[in-house]
Amino acid sequence: MNEVYEVMKKYGKFMAGLDYPVGNARLVQMTSEGVFSTVDGCDLSDLKEEDIIRLPGDTMPVPCGDMKALVYSQTPYCMEWIRRGRSFDAALDDMAQIFGPTALVVDVRPENPCRDKDIKKALKDNVGFLAVTQKGENGENTGQTLTFGRSLYEAVVAMTVIEKSAEVSVLAEKIGGPHPIARWEAKLMRLIYKKKYSKAEEAVKTREVG
């Protein structure tokens, strides 16, 4: 537990120190001892051991291949796309390599009969998605972004990358729209990144918690 606490404290402090708010964020980490999560509403800048709980069961709350870490966040520009209910494609190399070709909006409300299928589709080529948890009367959605990683380091990096990409896509609409990377090219970039450039990071960061 102490090992998990130290890692979550490290990345919680990092997220709290970003130059944009992360909203009601939550960190989840799967270890050999179980799955641990920060509690809703905790102060990420100063996490206490009592802010971390063990979740029931021994699987991630949202399965995603071999991913062992998950970050829930509500960063400003990702929330804008959730509000609109619109997905966006990768226009930056970083998004294509680290996150995937598309940030899909998924209705995760229990009343959506296709929820599990939609989540699986969103995570087929990407390490996250934009989750709609509530639809407002005026048609505007609320929700949160989910980003995954083999470690919390990767999940947090994916969060920062997708927020930057969301910002670029919003601002680009004001000058004629973004120019997304071709889907086949984005998928290839992601594949190359996974096979070559992320191996060293994985070896180091997965040793943070086991």
Residue 199 pLDDT exceeds 70: no
Q: DSSP alpha helices (H): ranges in the chain?
A: 2-16, 76-84, 93-94, 115-122, 152-172, 183-192, 199-205
Q: For the segment 152-190, what is each residue's pLDDT rounded down to a tens digit? A: 999 999 999 999 999 999 998 877 767 788 888 888 888
Q: Is the pTM of this model over 0.85?
A: yes
Which residue ranges form the domains of the chain, and what is each CATH number?
2-205 (3.40.225.10)
Q: How far apart are CA 209 and CA 107, in angstroms?
A: 32
pLDDT band at 206, cuts 50/70/90? low
CA-wise closest residue to 14 among 157, 198, 200: 157
Q: For the segment 36-75, what is each residue's pLDDT rounded down to a tens digit? A: 999 999 999 999 999 999 999 888 999 888 899 999 999 9
Sorted by sequence, the CB contacts under 8 Å of residue 70 that are 6+ apart come out as: 27, 28, 60, 61, 62, 64, 146, 147, 148, 149, 155
pLDDT band at 210, cuts 50/70/90? low
Which pLDDT score is estimated for 186?
A: 87
Average pLDDT, stretch 12-16? 98
Which pLDDT score is estimated for 151?
A: 93
